[in-house]
Amino acid sequence: MNKTTELYYESAYITEFDAEVIACVGNEDGRFEVILDRTAFFPEQGGQSSDLGVLLDDNGSTVDVLHVSISEEDGETVIRHITDGEVAVGSRVHGSVDWEHRFNNMQQHTGEHIFSGIVSRKFGYDNVGFHLSDSEVTMDYNGVLTPEDIKEIELEVNGAIWENVRVIAEFPDKDRLDKMDYRSKKELTGDVRIVTVEGYDVCACCAPHVEHTGEVGLLKVVGLQNYKKGVRVSILCGKRALLFLEKEHDMVTELSNRFTTSADKVITSVNKLSEDNDSLKNKLNAANDKLMEYELDAIDKGLSDVFLVKEKEFDQNLMRNTVNKLAAEHSGYCGVFAGDDGGYIFIIASGTDKKDCKALMDMLKSEFDAKGGGSGTMIQGSIGSVDISEVIEKCSK
C-alpha cells in the first residue's frame, strides 16, 4: 500500500485538496474506511480529536468524513477516513476539511503549548497527560499548582497571545534535533516534528497549530483539581473561551438583576441570602422540634409498635431524632415514614424490648419490594407506591 502524503504537515491552513482513492472497505456498522493517496485531514492522535469534513467525487456526490484514524502497518503509515458512504477505488475526490472545527482545535492546542511551556519553565513540571475533544481541553501535570499559581500562569499565557509571536512547526534534521532542548512525553525516534512558540515553548508535536499566537485569541482556565500526585487543569481558548465567558456573564447579569445590585456585589448578596436562609432554616427546625415534642408527649407511653407518617419534605435529622425518642419510650418497632402516594422513605428502630429490625427489613423487602438495610437495632430505606396503612399494619404484627 502506498504511503499517504500528509498535507497537514505542509500547512495547517490547507483545507481543500484533490486525491485518488486507494481503498474503500465497508464496515458492519454501514460506514466505510477510505484510504487516499494524499490528505489534509488530521487523524486522531496525540490526545487530539480528528478533523471532520466531506469528500466530493467526480459525479458531484459527497460523503461525510466522520472520523480519521492513523496506524502503522507493515512499516507504513495508514490513514483511514471513516465516511458515511462509499467512494469508488481509483476515482478522484476533492476533500474539504471543516475549517471551523480545525481552527478551533488549533487554538486549543497552541494555547496548551504556551501554558505547558510556562509551567515547565516556572515550576519544572512535565505535562504527563493531554486530552483535546470537541468540548474540553485537559492537561495533567506531575506537580501541584495552587489557584494563585494558575492565575499567574493564565495572565502570562494571555500576555504571550497578545504579543502575537511566531509559532514554527518543522522537522529538524538529526544533527539539529540532537542539539535542541524540547519537551516530549516519550522517547522519539525517526523524524520528529518540533513546534516552537518563540520565547515560550519548544515541544515535539504532530498536530496542526496556528502560525502566530494572536490567533489563539485568549485562554481561560476553567478547572483545577488534584489528580494523582499532581493536578489536572482544564482550559478553553479562542471562541470556546468567549462562549464560556458569555455564559458566565449572562449568569452574573441575571443574578445582578434579581438582587437589584451591581455585578461586583453579587457574591455579597448571595452570601447574605445564604446566611438568611440558614438562619430561617435553623428557626424552622427548632419550631418543628418543639411541635414534634408536643406530638410525642401526646402519645400513650403504653403503646407498642408506634409509627408516624409525615410529608415527604420532613427533615431527615428530625426524622431520626423522632425515631430515637419513640424507641426510648415504647416497646415493639418505632418508626417514621415520610412521603406520599408516590413512595416513602423510612427509619425504623427497635423499642425497649429490642425486637430484631433485620427481620422487619426482610419482610418489607419481600412483601413491599422495599430498598434499604441496617442493623438489628435500626433500619432505613425507601418503598415505592404503597398503601401506607397496610405497610404499618404488617410492621405492627
DSSP state letters, 91-148: -EEEEEE-HHHHHHHHHHHHHHHHHHHHHHHHH---EEEEEE-SS-EEEEESS---HH
pLDDT at 69: 95
User: The domain containing residue 388 runs over which residues?
Assistant: 303-395
207 with 116, same domain?
yes
Q: How far is CA 317 from the centre of its chain?
A: 33
116 with 245, same domain?
yes
Which grid cell is 374?
A: 441496617
Q: What is the CATH number of the domain that holds 239?
A: 3.30.980.10
Domain total of the chain: 3
137 with 245, same domain?
yes
pTM for the whole structure = 0.76
Pick from 141, 83, 91, 92: nearest CA to 112 = 141
262 assigned to some structural domain: no
218 with 123, same domain?
yes
- Contact residues for 288 (Cβ-Cβ < 8 A; gap 6+): 315, 318
Pick from 339, 347, 334, 395: nearest CA to 373 = 347
106 with 243, same domain?
yes
294 assigned to some structural domain: no
| Last residue of one domain, picked from the residues 53, 69, 97 | 97
233 with 143, same domain?
yes
295 assigned to some structural domain: no
- Contact residues for 265 (Cβ-Cβ < 8 A; gap 6+): 259
343 assigned to some structural domain: yes
Q: What is the CATH number of the domain that holds 390?
A: 3.10.310.40
d(CA 222, CA 357): 49
223 assigned to some structural domain: yes
234 with 113, same domain?
yes
> Which residue, chain included where needed, has cell 457574591?
267
86 with 145, same domain?
no
10 with 139, same domain?
no
Q: Are 20 and 91 in contact (CB under 8 A)?
A: yes
| Residue pLDDT, tens place only, 226-264 | 999 999 999 999 999 999 999 999 998 888 888 888 888
Residues of the chain with pLDDT under 70: 1-2, 189
Q: How far is CA 190 from the centre of its chain?
A: 36
| Last residue of one domain, picked from the residues 73, 97, 121 | 97
pLDDT at 120: 96
107 with 241, same domain?
yes
Strand partners, 315: none
Q: State whether residue 255 is helix, strand or coil.
A: helix
CA atoms within 13 A on the CB side of 382: 9
120 assigned to some structural domain: yes
126 with 35, same domain?
no
116 with 58, same domain?
no
291 assigned to some structural domain: no
How many degrees, rounded to 5, is the angle at CA 357 between CA 352 and CA 360?
125
Q: What is the CATH number of the domain that holds 26?
A: 2.40.30.130
| Last residue of one domain, picked from the residues 97, 115, 150 | 97
Give me the phi and psi of 269, to 5 degrees please: -65, -40
d(CA 242, CA 31): 35
d(CA 208, CA 53): 16
Q: Are 19 and 93 in contact (CB under 8 A)?
A: yes
280 assigned to some structural domain: no
